[in-house]
Each structure stands twice: as structure tokens, then as C-alpha cells.
Structure 1
Amino acid sequence: MAATTAIARGLEDVIFTESSLCFIDGEQGRLYYAGYKIQDLAEHSTFEEVTYLLLHGRLPSKAELKAFSAKLASLRALPPSVIKQIKQFPRNAHPMSMLRTAVSELGMVDETEADVSPEALYEKSLSLIAKFATIVAATKRHREGQKILAPRKGLSHAANFLYMSNGRVPSKEETKLMDVALILQAEHGFNASTFTAIATYSTQTDIYSAIVAAVGALKGPRHGGANEAVMKMIAEIGAPENVSSWLAELQAKKGRVMGMGHRVYKSYDPRAGVLDKYAALVAAKHGHSKEYAILKELERQAGAIYNPKGIYPNVDFYSGVVYSDLGYSLEFFTPIFAVARISGWCAHILEYTKTDNRLLRPDSHYTGKLDLPYIPLSKR
């Protein structure tokens, strides 16, 4: 083994394929989906339209979007066996574990599970994208001891998700807020869960197995669980006037400010900028002004320390306040992430299948000994 073997820790900067789905400029804080600025999509688009963009590589016409949205709506309902299974989950189980198991059940009841043709893969992708919101809403109702609600006709994806979660038709403002949150989280290049989905699917397994693996990766606190940690941090700080002393204590412990810093972004995460705008509206209209004020003061004080080091707020910094206002408790922040990211996972699987589909098989640099003499068990 060559002693000079270069090792890319964490696979950082390793390029294993090509993609036209997402462009991230971490130095300048720019994010594009299929060529479109994330700010424009968040302001003017919907989750359905962004999903179409990711799956097809272009924005739809009015007629195409209408048909696509209707198709997604027709696929939202869960099979009876999946609903029955959700009702049997322990109510204290983590919602991500519930989601993971429900997706696995979807695969088992799909008689065409093993069909990996391009047409079948696309149809299964649409079904998963449509059903993720229904599953997460159902697990929320189950955990809260409430009746699981079926999808309601005439509502958008974001509005239906809120309706099935909270039991009432949301306002236009709430629907827009959820749409923005889902758009911002729908895609982000080859992050851990997306890479996991592609690596799994590259074995030519079924898409359900790949998505189950992706859900498992997203469940980890170093990936999808960061927004939960931000809300816990806000509770720990307690009030804006406590930020200075809390931050000093954190620095003494060499801790980190949750929701600040990103593996890719060395400047302000553009998603955080968009969500900050909507978090401000939430604070003004719905009484979360204290939490928002703590975040703004923390951003001001911590920014003076960490911004020169390339550490800025990321999307998780503000998302928790938004999710909380929309009626979700801490443990559902990561499942909401999954409701959005399922579009990106499926889009990448479809793209990789068309362009490469090579089995991912990285190597390692061996550092152990060789040619050790085997000693029989009786002499050890």
C-alpha cells in the first residue's frame, strides 16, 4: 500500500457523477435548482411546480402543471394496510422511525415493487412524493391521539399537508409559508441522505429500499435534526438579553451555535435569508416574537465572532420557528424536511439511472498488518 495515498475524509470534494439538478456556490452563497435561483422559486413558485422542475429539468406550462398537480393529488391516499400499521405504532416512537417503517410497508404492498423500468420508476417516484406528506401527517395525528385524516380534494400539496396535520384548512399565509419551507428543503445536491439514496439504488434494488435508506440517513442529528437543536437552544437561552452570557459560556466550553455553519456554505446560506423574511412575518402575526428576537440577537452577536471565519446561519437557524408556528412540535421538524426532500431524492435517482447507474463502490487505504500467522484456538 502506497504511503502517499490521498484520502478524502468524508468524501469531501470527491466528484463521482454529473448532475443538472442543483448548483451550489458555497463561497458566494448561491443556490440554483435546474438553473433557477432559489429566491425566485421560493417567492413565485409552488412545491408542485418545483417538483416538476426537479423531475423534468424544466418548468411546466400551465396545462402541464395542472395535470401534474392533479396526478400528485390522486396519489396522496395511503393503502389501508399502511394506515392500520401507523395506528399500531407506539405513540412515543420517533416520527422518523414511523416514516421509515411506513415507507417499507408501501414497498411490500406494491405488487410492482421489483419493476425498475424507467416508466415504473417515475410512477413510483410520484407516488412516494405524494404520500410522504400523508404519512407524516398521519403519524402526527396518531402521536397526538387524534383521528387520522384522509387527503382533502381541492387543496394544494402544502395546504393538504397542513390540513391533514392540524385538522383545519390553513389560511393562504400558512399555505405560502409551508410552500416556501418545502421548496427550500426540496433539493441540495449530494448531501448525506441523497448520496445514501443513490448508493443504495446503484445496487439495482427497488426505490423503496433506497428511500428507506435515505430516511435513515436524514434522521441523524448531524443532517436532518439540526433544526430541532436550534429550538432547544432558543429555550436554553430564554430571552434576548441572555444571549451575551450564554454565548460567552458556550465559547468557554468550545461549543457551537446550532444552525450556524455549513459543510458547503462559507457565506450566508441563501435559504436562511429567504426563511428569515418569513420567520419575521410569523413573529409579527402569530406571537413568536420572543423566539425570533432571540435568534436575531444571537445572529448579531455570534455573527461578529464567527462570520469572519466563514460561519453564517444556515436554513435550520430559522426553520424551527416557522414549523412551530405552523403547529408542529420539535420531533416533526425532520419529518417535514423529508416531506420536502423526497422530491430531490427521487429526482436524483431518476437522473443517475439515466446518465450513469454505475454501482458505487469506494475503497479505503488499508492500515493493518499482513501475513499474520494463524494460531489454532486451542493454543490461544
Structure 2
Amino acid sequence: MIHAGLEGIVAADSKISLVDGKNGFLVYRGEWAKKIAKERSFEEAAYFLWNGTYPKAEELERFTTSLSEARTLTKAQKEIIDRLPANMDMMAVIRTLLSAKGSEEFSFPAKHDEGICLLGIVPTIIAYRYRSQNDLPFIEPDTSLSHVGNYLYMLNGERAENHHVQALTAYFILTMEHGLNASTFTARVIASTESDLASAVTGAIGAMKGPLHGGAPTGVIDLLQEIKQDGDVEKVLRRKLDNKEKLMGFGHRVYKTKDPRAVALSEITSTFYDDEEFAMAHEVEQTAVRLLQEYKPDRNLYANVEYYAAAILRAIDLPTELFTPTFTAARCAGWIAHVYEQNENNRIIRPSSVYSGSMPE
């Protein structure tokens, strides 16, 4: 029997995360991802994902310091970015720079300082390229800021509001890992050949670049923009439902009930009602869920993580072309965790195929 796309095939035994779409569960190493997003920093979450335990105070300080020091681009790395074609998209830029970092210092099995090296530099690559493309001076990283706070600072040239950092940090944590998805599987396949960490992450970026995996939630952004311009949430949503249009950002292929990531982001941003964008996002969500129950009572359709990703993206004024790169900056932590796990008990991943061609005469 052929399982197209390997759907339903178990290819790994992992302690990193549980994605249970039927029950709406997302667990990181025995803890609810939602709880981690509410109570922990990105640095603590990444350390936990890699090690299975939370860092003690001195361990967190060392990890945070190492990660912040890894943000700096060398002169040679800046020159590589500067020489890339102007029409090269951001995902290709990240892929190229991380590939260039895969020198002889990276080896099998992957070491933790290699993971820190890659995780720390991705936001800087994005910020440097973005500001360069927009004729803005580069903002050097600020080691006193958190991983996410510094990312926003490098992009905008000023310290972001606390609730914007809090919302984006929760997003980073809730999207850093999501089981054996296409990009993570790619990373593990590469790691299984005893290749190095930079190669595995570079391959994962190639998978993330595809619109079926890491595509930006432009449909959600368009929906929110249309509602904002019209001013009447229910009228716009009813018109779409009457026209048999899909409400972008509602429903999920994996989660047949509420998407736990969207639930967490909704709860975390529910205190930000003084922010116009977040207030509107919550009103749209509540109205859409009510109308979907009215129009499609036989289906459980709720906001998914893409909906709240778009809401957060709009609230912090992040350009839409930076959504997938930002998603990549977050998911990089999960890819690295999976490479470490693959290295611990490695066996080359090599599925079979069924030949459907003709035979020679």
C-alpha cells in the first residue's frame, strides 16, 4: 500500500513534541506549549526544547549571553549579503548565509554551540537584508535585549513596545516546534546521513520556502484589512459566508478542534485591548466563530495559528514579506532540537518507492 506524501507513516520516535489534532493538544517535552508561551522567555523555551529541562539561573545566563553574542554578522557575511542579487527573496538569503556558515567547524554529531550559532544569527540576517533593501542604515544588535526584542529593534531602529515583544515572543515559542512537518522531516533526513547541522537547517529552510508549508497568511491579512476599511465586522463576514467564500484563518488541516497555538495567542493578547489591531482581531475572531457555527453547524471551525500570526504581524507593523522569514527564525529552534535527537540514535532515513514505469523489452 502506498501512502502518498508518507501520510500516516510513523518515521521517528521523538520526545520533543506531541501534536494531537483530534484533541487539540500541543506538548513540548511533557509540558503544554501554551503554558510555556505564557510563562517563559524564548531563551528558556529554546533551552528546554534542546535539553529537556529548564536552565538554572547560571545556565540561562550563559545560554542567553552566548545567543546574544551569536547575533553579530562579520564583515565577510555582510559582504555576501550585499553581493546577492537584488531580486533574491529573503528565504534564499537566509539559506545562502547559513550554508556559508557550514564550514569545517560544523561536524557530526552536532554540538550545542553550533545550534546557538545558527539560531542567534537568523534574525540579524533578516534585519540586515531588509534594511539594506529599503535603503536604511543597519542597526547593530543590542545584547541587552531579548532575542525577540532585539529582532524588532534591528528591524525598526527603536525599542518595541513591551506588549508587542510579548505577543511576538509567544508566537515564536508556539511555532518553534510542530512535530514531523515537512521542514523538520527534511532536517532529520539530512542529519540521518551524518551530515552537519548547517546542512540540515539549510535543507529545512528550502522546505519552509515552499508556499504549501511556510506561506505568508496574506488571505488573513486581506480579510482584516477589508474589515478595517468597512468598519462592520459582521456585515463583511456574512457577505463572505453568503457567497460561499472561505474565512481565511479559520479551520486547520491537523487540528479538528481548537488550534492550541491560536488559543494561547488569543489569551495572551486578550489583555492588549488598548491596541486597536489586537482589539479588532479579537472582535473578528469572536464574530467569525459565532457565524461559522450558524452557517456550518456540522463543522468545528475556529481560529488557527495563521490567523493570530497575521494579527500579530499587523499589530507590530511587520512587512508581509517578512512573515515566512520570521516563522523561520522561530522554527529554527525546533529544527536544531530534532537534529540533536536524530544524532543521539541515528539511522539513515530511506523510505522505499514503488516503480510505476515501463520495463525494457
Normalising to structure 1: TM-score of the pair?
A: 0.87
Structure 2 counterpart of 1:79: 74
* Amino acid in structure 2 at the alignment position of 1:127: C
Alignment of 1:184-223 (within 5 A): 184-223=174-213
CA distance in 1, matches of 2:294, 2:33: 26
Of 325, 344, 347 in structure 2, the residue corresponding to residue 358 of structure 1 is 347
SS class of match (1:223): helix
Query: Following TM superposition, by how much is the alpha carbon of 1:173 offset from its aligned partner in structure 2, in angstroms?
Result: 2.0
After TM superposition, the structure 1 stretch with the greater mean CA deviation from structure 2, 66-75 or 308-317, is: 308-317
SS of 2:183 mapped into structure 1: helix
Matched, 1:116 2:105: no
1:58-105, Cα deviation, whole Å (9 max, x unpaired):
111122111111111121112222212223344554222222222222
Relative to structure 1, the CA distance from residue 339 to residue 147 in structure 2 (aligned partners, 3 Å threshold; closer, same or farther) is: same
User: Residues 272 and 315 of structure 1 are in contact (CA less than 8 Å); yes or no, is this contact kept in structure 2?
Assistant: yes
Counterparts of 2:324 and 2:294 in 1: how far apart (Å)?
Answer: 29
Q: Which amino acid aligns with 1:45?
A: R
Counterpart residue number, 1:377: none
Question: For 2:289 and 2:130, how far apart are their aligned partners in 1?
Answer: 31
Q: CA deviation at 1:51?
A: 0.4
Q: What per-residue deviation string (whole Å, max 9, x for no partner) do you get for residues 119-150 of structure 1? A: xx322111101111111222221232211222
Report the AA paired with residue 128 of structure 1: L
Q: Assess, with a 3 A threshold, how the Cα gap between structure 1 residues 97 and 154 changes in structure 2: closer, same or farther.
A: same
2:329 is matched with 339
Deviation at 1:112, TM superposition (A): 1.6
- Distance in 1, matches of 2:3 and 2:296, equals 26
SS in 1 for 2:19: strand
Q: 1:165 to 1:156 in 2, by over 3 A?
A: same
Q: Distance in 2 between matches of 1:303 and 1:106?
A: 50
User: Where does 1:247-326 land on structure 2 (aligned, <5 Å)?
Assistant: 247-251=241-245, 256-282=246-272, 284-287=274-277, 289-290=279-280, 293-305=283-295, 308-326=298-316
- Structure 1 residue identity aligned to 2:195: T
Structure 2 contact 278–312 (Cα < 8 Å) conserved = no
**Structure 2, unaligned stretches of length 5 or more?**
none
- Identify the match of residue 234 of structure 1 among 224, 229, 243: 224
Structure with higher Rg: it is 1
User: What is the 5 A alignment of 1:153-164?
Assistant: 153-164=143-154
Counterpart of 1:248, as a letter, is D
Partner-residue secondary structure (3-state), 1:24: strand
Distance (Å, rounded) in 1 between the aligned partners of 2:203 and 2:25: 29
Tell me the percent identity. 33
- Counterpart contact for 1:226–1:259, Cα < 8 Å: no
Q: Which of 69-78 and 276-285 deviates more?
A: 276-285
State the alpha-carbon separation in 1 of the partners of residues 297 and 257 from structure 2: 8
- Quick check: 204-213 or 265-274, which moved more? 204-213
Structure 1, unpaired ranges of 5+: 1-5, 374-380
Give the distance between the partners of 2:96 and 2:272, measured in 1 at CA.
33
In the aligned structure 1, how far is the partner of 2:213 from the partner of 2:104? 33
* C-alpha deviation, 1:289, in angstroms: 4.4
Residue identity in the other structure for 1:249: N
Q: 1:177 corresponds to which residue?
A: 167
* CA 155–250 in structure 1, closer or farther in 2 if over 3 Å, else same: same
Q: Structure 1 residues 307, 50: closer, same or farther in 2, change over 3 A?
A: farther
For the structure 1 residues 87 and 51, does the alpha-carbon distance in structure 2 shift closer, same or farther, using more than 3 Å as the test?
Answer: same
CA pair 152-302 structure 1, distance change in 2 beyond 3 A? same
**Match of 1:327?**
317
Query: Structure 1 residues 285 and 267 mapped into 2: Cα distance closer, same or farther (>3 Å)?
Result: same
CA distance in 1, matches of 2:296, 2:201: 36
Deviations 1:13-49 (A, max 9, x none): 2111211110122111111111111121111101000
**Secondary structure at the counterpart of residue 72 of structure 2:** coil
- Closer/same/farther in 2, CA of residues 304 and 204 from structure 1, 3 Å limit: farther
The alignment's TM-score, normalised by the length of structure 2, stands at 0.91
Q: Give the total of aligned pairs.
A: 357
One-letter code aligned to 1:112: E
Change (3 A) 1:311 1:7: farther
Name the aligned partner's letter for residue 356 of structure 2: T
Contact (CA 8 Å) 1:193, 1:218: kept in 2 or not? yes
Aligned to 1:33: 28
**CA drift at 1:326:** 1.6
The secondary structure found in structure 2 opposite 1:308 is: coil
Aligned with 2:9 (options 14, 22, 26): 14
Contact 1:244/1:301 (CA < 8 Å) preserved in 2?
A: yes
Equivalent-residue separation in structure 2 for 1:268 and 1:291 (angstroms): 17
Q: Which residue does the alignment assign to 1:42?
A: 37
